[in-house]
Structure 1
Amino acid sequence: MNYSKWARLILLISTLVFAASCSQVSKPGNTADLANDRREARFSILQVNDSYKIEGIENGSIGGFARLRTLRRQLQEGGEQVLLLHGGDFLFPSVMSKYLKADAMIKVLNLMDGNESAFDDNMMVVFGNHEFDDADPGVLLGRIAQSDFAWISSNTRYRSSEMAAGSPFSDRLSNVHDVLVKNINGVKVGLFGITLDFQKQSYVSFDYAPDLRRAAINKAIADLKAQGAAVIIALTHQDFDQDQWLAREFPDVNLVVGGHEHIYLEKRIGKTWITKADADNQSAVLHDVRVLADGAVETSHRKIDLDGKVEKDAQVDAEVGKQLAKLAEQIKKKNKDLNQVLGYSRYLLEGVEPAVRSRETALGDFLADVIRERMKADIAFTNGGGIRINDNIPPGPITVYDMEGLFYYDNELVSFELSGAQLLEVLKNSVSKSHLGNGRFLQVSGLRFKYRAKESNGVYSYAVEPADVEIKARGASVYTPLDTNKKYRVATIDFIWEKGFSDGYEIFSQGAGKSSPPRLDNGAAVSFRKTTEEAIDKLPNKTVTNRIEGRIIRQVQ
């Protein structure tokens, strides 16, 4: 070969090497790989949130993790690349976690890939506020270490002492990440996690005040872009309005996978979808994510109901049964029998959260009546968020297991006075987030009222006027109009009296400003659970006969 041919060959090889090296370098000013810009890719996300009963509700006939495993397996068998994302609140609160310290929940979650010993590379969770329920940090740290899946948190820090500034949980546990990038079908998918600061334990601190949260999100997005993320997903556990704020303020986020509300919600802000599923895996949200050749990201989704039409995965169902047996044994050690019958109900007592947190229910009426009678009050109310059973009690026996669920938090009863004007403000706040199934919604006794609901472009407003409220004072046989100047004797649970401000009830701030009205009772501990059980025992044939009677009427304008 002569010199000129050698020269041409060397030039050709050099050109090819240079071109190959250039193909691996990102465009100037673009953190995504060129590979993400030159091919179309797609993958799926399976979303759940707020899971408390591993078996599901209504004796396992709806929801539960065995059906979720079936759905995930079916999607994977179809050749789809599926990320399983959980929007937080699963360690606590539940009857099972109360007695088994959340061990059962992790053992079931570790089976979501069908392998109890392998790490699930495609499952990620975010902290919910209830993950921090146990005051012992060892419980949380132990359950994280036990998890065969990844935790993501961009705004929480572990504190070894209450005075310490704290450090990211990722500094202590290898399966916790500040942000996480996954390579899915050749596309880099970035995730970050945000948790609201509702549950304040001494061992955790939150960057959740507006400025701190903004800084945490900015840093997370910058870190993800620096790692070449072409898709950015916010995995959150916070109020729906704060998810909307996030989507508006950070349009680079392609999808907000949320938790905290317990009902199915969806909203689009710009090009960003926000979604939440029904609690206890009653439904899941399946997202289809497409990354186009030009790097644009498109998402679509649909709700999938996990009802009796979805078969239970045999392996997960067997583990669920094993853990239910362990729960029964633990409760037996407390000299309790889960199946012990305490009384009966003639009609359905709805305790599922979408019901008790948004409308009158027969169960809510009964519980409010119990409070009113025991505290000798004109009016009584209790918040839907405090009714933790998230299940229905069908006509028939009422058992110890039902009581354990109803009174996960065994509050005490208190009484005080409110003016008619103050009571009106309480009712306005009660319904102010009823479209979200918010826990502030009150079940009432001794009064009836109607409220007007209006929706415009996804914005809800509510109105309650004095003329909309009627009172049936203790000993009275008829309802009379609300007198805004009159004082009424009111009874409720101590949580509302002490901390109602956290749910927007400004008058109830015993722990923050001590503005709660003075108690009329003598301060003696009166157990809500014990009072309820005693009330059932005194009923004719120990039978609850409450039915919905029109105490709360919603009028749509």
Structure 2
Amino acid sequence: MSPTSGARSPKWLLGLVLVGAVSCAGAPASPPGTRPAAPPAEARFTILQINDVYKIEGLEGGRLGGLARVRTLRKRLESEGRPVLVLHAGDLLFPSVMSKYLRAQPMIRVLNLLDGDPGAFDPALFVVFGNHEFDDRDPGTLLGRVAESDFSWVSSNVRYRSVKSDNGAPLSSRLANVHDTVVKEVSGVPVGILGLTTDVQPRDYVAYDYGDLRERRAAVDRALQSLRAGGARAVVALTHQDLDEDERLARDFPAIGLVVGGHEHIFLQRKVGRTWITKADADAKTAIVHDVRISSDGSLEDTFRKVPLGADVEKDAAVDGEVQASLAELAAAVRTQTGREIQEVVGETRNLLEGVEPAVRGRETALGNFLADVLRERMKTDVGFLNGGAIRINDDIPPGPIRNYDLEGIFYFDNQVVSFEITGAQLLDLLRTSVSKVHTGHGRFLQVSGIRFRYRVAGTPEEPVYTVGPSDVEVSPRGGSFQPLDLARTYSAASLDYMWENGYRDGYDLFAQGRGGTSPRRIDSGAQPWRAMTEETIRSLPGRRVTTAVEGRIVRVDAAR
């Protein structure tokens, strides 16, 4: 895919002088008696983009994606003779099975090998903080992993604070390899990079200039002013936020020539004005390669392509060696901490259990059906549902054995199962919210049990419009057949405690307990552990065999075009 090139000509970037190789404060002075070299008329370079990489080994047991293939692609691009910037748009430390047990150390060790030199600092790799970088409540984990990084982090809107009541200071004040902004000389031209992170992961030790739109814009303004002072001829925004917020960023700040983004986990491209926004598939299933040209007037033109990193791409031996050593270390840690053997078979499945995020966050899947059925049947409710974002395996379980490693991924979070009452009208609102961002792979998408519904799609691929009407929904009350949704009826429902308490974070305003509001009245006698409940269900099945299939619970109806 090669989208049409776009150009950006920010007036404030015109006629600026050349800066040094990497600058975070300003341009270095020229040696005495010399005249600064004039910047070249044009610069051409490559950007290798990845984002949301959780599993160092990749997907399907390493058959797809993974960082060993990213290293191979980087070597191939560098052999073409043009400078290569590697930009990671956030989410790498957490969540994964490996980070849960090994505190994200393997991820840093592997990223430190992406330049091919395990002992050197990588001057071409830049990373923005994703929301999951702040998953661990202990700030020492974050600070430790960043300190171990032989590459640069960029953060223009996140502040570290020692106590919750403190206003905090930029992360750059804590760690030498974190920068508010960066000016990087590429092909003789100074290129500015700023970093922007969403605030969806609150922690006592960080504060974000984000939730208040005025504060966020002020943070971006400061970053652009810093880049201007540093001599940047063109600007790339390295972001980790929702696509609509990236679109807002490009509209509000046309001086930004390219937005390299993460957070959605699926390949996305949008063009706002003449600024491209791109996001790659998670876990390096794909990467995006940008062919960037910066003209003397500061205009940035970008032609990019999605590059699949499948089995046909050879793994770099050094990186893969570190990956295999980390997998062995993980197996030992799981054994020590839980007594489980990670490759032990706990059951089997007749059908493919799709757990990759584009599936569980975008359509009905057999895995989602099975997990939702467990909630409903074990809690004896009319309906059951869970958000696709709670299913963290981001991998498929093919027909055959189900292993402990699969369960570790599915149940990464120690969720509990609860039950409560909702009305038919409230259920309809939940289903509407569920599909409202399906085109972006948002984690709010619900996998359901005891429910069948259609959602209708109109609008354009860039701006789709989704509708779910009362007549599009059927419910199977406990012990009964499917019948039309009754808006006035009260239904019992089972879901995860995260959804009940914090659903508001995904747009479900009904579930606001976690922000001091209210959530529906609980009817359970106590929350039940989700993983244990599911394991008990598998053991109770004949031959411990899961037979759940896709059966038309969620149907997409596209408008005739």
Q: What is the TM-score of this pair, normalised by structure 1?
A: 0.93
1:91 Cα deviation after fit: 0.3
Name the counterpart of 2:515: 512
For each residue in 1:27-63, what CA deviation from the matched residue of structure 2 results, as whole angstroms up to 9, or x when unmatched? 9994523877752220010000000000001010000
Contact in 2 for aligned 1:262/1:353 (Cα 8 Å)? yes
Aligned AA (1:145): A
For each residue in 1:426-445, what CA deviation from the matched residue of structure 2 results, as whole angstroms up to 9, or x when unmatched? 00000000000000000000
Name the counterpart of 1:73: 75
Name the counterpart of 1:364: 368
Name the counterpart of 2:543: 541
More displaced, 294-303 or 165-174?
294-303
Query: How far apart in 1 are the matches of 2:443 and 2:461?
Result: 24
Aligned AA (2:41): R
Name the counterpart of 2:90: 88
Query: How far apart in 2 are the matches of 1:53 and 1:475?
Result: 41
SS in 2 for 1:550: coil
**In the alignment, is residue 50 of structure 1 matched against residue 52 of structure 2?**
yes
Q: CA RMSD in A?
A: 1.4
Query: How far apart in 1 are the matches of 2:177 and 2:247?
Result: 29
For each residue in 1:104-143, what CA deviation from the matched residue of structure 2 results, as whole angstroms up to 9, or x when unmatched? 0000000000111100000000000000111111111111
Gaps of 5+ in 1: 1-26
Name the counterpart of 2:204: 202
**In the alignment, is residue 181 of structure 1 matched against residue 165 of structure 2?**
no
1:468-487 aligned within 5 A: 468-476=472-480, 478-487=481-490
Contact in 2 for aligned 1:414/1:493 (Cα 8 Å)? yes
Q: CA separation of 1:28/1:483 partners in 2, compared to 1, >3 Å: closer, same or farther? A: closer
More displaced, 296-305 or 353-362?
296-305
SS in 2 for 1:416: strand
Name the counterpart of 2:267: 264
Q: CA separation of 1:215/1:538 partners in 2, compared to 1, >3 Å: closer, same or farther? A: same
Query: How far apart in 1 are the matches of 2:17 and 2:540?
Result: 71
Q: What is the TM-score of this pair, normalised by structure 2?
A: 0.93
Query: How far apart in 1 are the matches of 2:230 and 2:377?
Result: 62
The structure that has the greater radius of gyration is 1
Name the counterpart of 1:227: 230
Contact in 1 for aligned 2:257/2:299 (Cα 8 Å)? no
Name the counterpart of 1:283: 286
Name the counterpart of 2:34: none
SS in 2 for 1:489: strand
**In the alignment, is residue 420 of structure 1 matched against residue 424 of structure 2?**
yes
Name the counterpart of 1:464: 468
Query: How far apart in 1 are the matches of 2:461 and 2:262?
Result: 23
Aligned AA (2:502): K
1:172 Cα deviation after fit: 1.5
1:102 Cα deviation after fit: 0.5
1:539 Cα deviation after fit: 0.4
Q: CA separation of 1:405/1:28 partners in 2, compared to 1, >3 Å: closer, same or farther? A: closer
Name the counterpart of 2:446: 442
1:321 to 309, 316, 324: 324
Contact in 1 for aligned 2:12/2:228 (Cα 8 Å)? no
Query: How far apart in 1 are the matches of 2:14 and 2:83?
Result: 26
Contact in 2 for aligned 1:36/1:230 (Cα 8 Å)? no
Query: How far apart in 2 are the matches of 1:529 and 1:288?
Result: 46
Query: How far apart in 2 are the matches of 1:512 and 1:551?
Result: 32
1:72 Cα deviation after fit: 0.2
Contact in 2 for aligned 1:31/1:226 (Cα 8 Å)? no
Query: How far apart in 1 are the matches of 2:297 and 2:527?
Result: 66
1:297 Cα deviation after fit: 1.8
Contact in 2 for aligned 1:232/1:254 (Cα 8 Å)? yes
Aligned sequence identity (%)? 57
Query: How far apart in 2 are the matches of 1:165 and 1:283?
Result: 39
Contact in 2 for aligned 1:36/1:187 (Cα 8 Å)? no
Aligned AA (1:556): D
Name the counterpart of 1:531: 533
More displaced, 242-251 or 410-419?
410-419
Aligned AA (2:16): A
**In the alignment, is residue 402 of structure 1 matched against residue 406 of structure 2?**
yes
Query: How far apart in 2 are the matches of 1:311 and 1:105?
Result: 20
For each residue in 1:484-523, what CA deviation from the matched residue of structure 2 results, as whole angstroms up to 9, or x when unmatched? 111111110011100101111111111224321110111x
Contact in 1 for aligned 2:14/2:297 (Cα 8 Å)? no
Query: How far apart in 2 are the matches of 1:447 and 1:172?
Result: 50
Name the counterpart of 2:8: none
Higher relative contact order (CA 8 A, sep 6+): 2
Name the counterpart of 1:303: 306
Gaps of 5+ in 2: 1-10, 19-36
Contact in 1 for aligned 2:286/2:306 (Cα 8 Å)? yes
SS in 2 for 1:254: strand
SS in 2 for 1:414: strand
Aligned AA (1:431): V
Q: How many residues align structurally? A: 529
Query: How far apart in 1 are the matches of 2:254 and 2:55?
Result: 35
More displaced, 29-38 or 424-433?
29-38
More displaced, 136-145 or 504-513?
504-513
